[in-house]
Structure 1
Amino acid sequence: MLHVFACDGDRLRWAREAEGVRTPLPAETVWLDLQNPTPEELARAEALMGIKLPTREQMAEIEESSRLRVTPDAVHMTALVLVWADTDQPRIVPVSFVLAGGRLATIHAVDPQPFLAFRRRVTRNGGAELTAEAVLAALLDGVVERTAAVLRRVGLELDTMGSRAFRGRALPVKGERRNDTRTLKRIGHTGHLIGKAHVSLSTLNRLLTFLARGEGWTPAKRTRRWARAALQDVTGLGEYAQFLSGKVSLLLDTTLGRINVEQNEIIKIVSILTVTLFPPTLVASIYGMNFVSMPEKDWTFGYPLAVMLMILSATLPMIYFKRRRWL
């Protein structure tokens, strides 16, 4: 899918009419957004940009020299962007940004939410970003803000789970039912999401450092100034993500520890019941034997004495356990 955005006077306009296969791309094009492009769309974009755009295999490279490089005709930058953060299967997908000839091309397989929001804003009000670097800054700002919103939501969720985990039995909540399996799944999903966000922030950190320094090329002063400010935000978010990872570890240890304590309590109760019922069971077993020569068999008060002995043998261990505070 190819989205074309062109400069229309003092506004950025979504040129939908130029997205047809047989329609030539306007010379005023500022941004080409390619989502899962077909070979024809990729060829049209490359013809306008005057360069070869990266393939999926090149975008998947993990070496920094492959993700951030300057060629005589273009600047190639690739970052991992967090997508599907509101689902049970969050992902990080490579998104390539290519600056060449005063134009920006973005290539991605999954449409990140900030890209969709930017296109909608341009559709409603038109965009104030008239240069390729301004569009790049707006898109990266949206990615950073989206990641920050995800981390903020995760932080609130961890606070809620933490308050429940550390509340204990003294402050029960009416109608609340604790499900340890569900809690462990939520903690695991939260840790997985934070890990994805941290990886994305790491690649954004390197990309913004590359923009701020302008190594091998000369971005506009406004772009470099914006990159330095955005770099501070990304650095702070990275530290916050590490803090949330620590909270996830603490919450996981607390939950597993509480489950272990509860299991030990159950085992202790079962052990105490076993020890308590063993003496009366022994008495009942002895006097339940059907031997002919049993002196107690002809006793008048044999039955009540046996019952009293069983009750006494069960009561004395319970009293002992109570004094030792095992119950």
Structure 2
Amino acid sequence: MLHVFVNDGGRLVWSKGAETMLGPLPDSAAWLDLVNPAPDERHRAERLVGFPLPTREQMAEIEESSRIRVLPGRVHLTVMGLVWADTESPRIIPVSFVLTPSHLVTVHHIDPQPFLAFRRKVSRDGLASATPVAVMEGVVEAMVERTAGVLRRVALELDTMGSRSLHGHTLRPRSESRDDTRTLRRIGHAGHLVGKAHVSLTSLRRMLEFLAGGEGAGLGKDCRRWARAALLDVTGLDEYALFLTQKVGLLLDTTLGRINAEQNEIVKIVSVLSVALFPPTLVASLYGMNFAHMPEKHWSFGYPYALLLMLLSAVLPMLYFKHKRWL
């Protein structure tokens, strides 16, 4: 899919007609957003800018020299974007920015939510400046805001789980239902999501570091000034993501420790009850033997005597355990 935004008197507006027509794209096109483009859409965009756009294989390269390339008249920048953050299967995908003096081309094969939100904002309100750098600023800021929102949501969820884990009962009451498997799954998902956000922020930080000091790339002062300001935000978010990673590890250790303590407490109670019930069982077994000569069987108070003996053999160990603080 090809989205075309043109420069209309200095403002960036969405040109729906240019997307549907089969001829060349208008020269006033300032931003071309290609979402999993078809061959003809890629060809139209390449005819306008005058050079080949990065392919899926080139975007998947992980070497720094492949992700940041300065070519004659243009700069190729590839970052990792966070997608599907609201689902159980978040992913990171490569997003390429091709920046020229007159055009910005973005290529991605899954549409990230920040791109969708920014396109809607431009189509509704327009953009005050249609320069390629201004458009790139808006897109990158939308990506940063989206990642910040994801980290805020994860932090709130970790705080909620941490409060329950640290202030809950070791042995839960009957009225409390706690699914430890679900809790561990939620912690794992939070750690997985924070890890994806960290990868995305790291790639954005490297791109902004290049833009902030890219005097040799033909970038203007406004671009470098914006990149320095955005770099502070991205660096802060990246450090916050690392903090959340440590918090996930602490919460995981705390939850596993609580589960282990709860299991040990249950085993302790079962063991104490087994020991406490052993003497009455021994007394009952003793008087349940079928020997002919057992004088207690002929006592008139033999039955109460056996019951009392079993009761005392159960109570006395329990009092001893209480005295030793084993219960």
TM-score of the superposed pair, with normalisation by structure 2: 0.95
Q: Are residues 176 and 47 of structure 1, via their aligned partners in 2, closer, same or farther at CA, if it must alter by over 3 Å?
A: farther
- State which drifts further: 111-120 or 268-277: 111-120
Residue 52 (structure 2) aligns with: 52
Trace 1:188-203 onto structure 2 (pairs within 5 A).
188-203=188-203
1:18 and 2:18 are equivalent in the alignment: yes
Of the structure 1 ranges 176-185 and 5-14, higher mean CA displacement relative to structure 2 is found in 176-185
Aligned ranges 1:65-104 → 2 under 5 Å: 65-100=65-100, 102-104=102-104
Question: 1:122 maps to what in 2?
Answer: 122
Residue 231 of structure 2 corresponds to 231
| Pair 1:35-2:43 in alignment | no
Q: In percent, how many aligned pairs have the same letter?
A: 66
Deviation (angstroms), 1:24: 2.3
Instruction: Tell whether the 8 Å contact from 2:25 to 2:48 is kept in structure 1 after alignment.
Output: yes
Unaligned runs of at least 5 residues, structure 2:
none
Aligned counterparts, 1:100-111, within 5 A: 100=100, 102-111=102-111
Deviation track 1:129-182 (CA, whole Å, cap 9, x = no partner) reads 311111111111111111111111211222222222222349x99x86433222
Letter in 1 for 2:30: V
User: How far 1:217 moved relative to its partner?
Assistant: 1.0
CA apart distance, 1:225:
0.3
SS in 2 for 1:70: strand
Partner of residue 301, structure 1: 301
Letter in 1 for 2:166: F
Alignment of 1:238-253 (within 5 A): 238-253=238-253
* Structure 1 residue 101: Cα displacement: 5.2
**What SS is found at the alignment partner of 2:217?**
coil
Hey, what does 1:318 align to over in structure 2?
Answer: 318
CA distance in 1, matches of 2:31, 2:101: 11
**Deviation sequence 1:280-309 (CA, Å, 0-9, x none):** 101111110112233333233222211111
- Give the distance between the partners of 2:290 and 2:222, measured in 1 at CA: 102
Q: Moved runs in structure 1, 4+ residues, more than 6 A?
A: none
Tell me the number of residue pairs that the alignment of Structure 1 and Structure 2 aligns: 325
- The residue type equivalent to 2:146 in the other structure is R
Aligned equivalent of 2:134 = 134
Which one is further off, 121-130 or 54-63?
A: 121-130
CA distance in structure 2 between the partners assigned to 1:168 and 1:100 by the alignment: 58
Please give the alpha-carbon distance, in whole angstroms, between the structure 2 residues aligned to 1:28 and 1:152. 39
What amino acid maps onto 1:94 in structure 2?
P
Partner amino acid, structure 2, of 1:195: G
Pairing of 1:170-185 with structure 2 (within 5 A): 177-185=177-185
Q: CA deviation at 1:216?
A: 3.9
Change (3 A) 1:4 1:240: same
SS at match of 1:48: helix
1-structure distance, mates of 2:21, 2:131 = 25
In 2, the alpha carbon distance for the partners of 1:99 and 1:290 equals 98
SS of match in other structure, 2:226: helix
Deviation, structure 1 residue 114:
1.4
1:270 aligned partner: 270
SS of the aligned residue for 2:53 comes to: coil
- Report the counterpart of residue 161 of structure 1 in structure 2: 161
2:77, 2:98 within 8 Å by CA — same for their partners in 1?
yes
Please tell me whether the aligned partners of residues 13 and 127 of structure 1 are also in contact (alpha carbons under 8 angstroms): yes
Q: 1:17 touches 1:23 (CA, 8 Å); kept in 2?
A: no
Q: How many angstroms apart in 2 are the aligned matches of 1:194 and 1:205?
A: 16
Q: Deviations over 1:224-283 (max 9, x none)?
A: 000011011111111111111111111111111111111111101100110011011011
> Are the aligned partners of 1:51 and 1:74 in contact in 2 as well (CA < 8 Å)?
no
**2:291 equivalent in structure 1:** 291
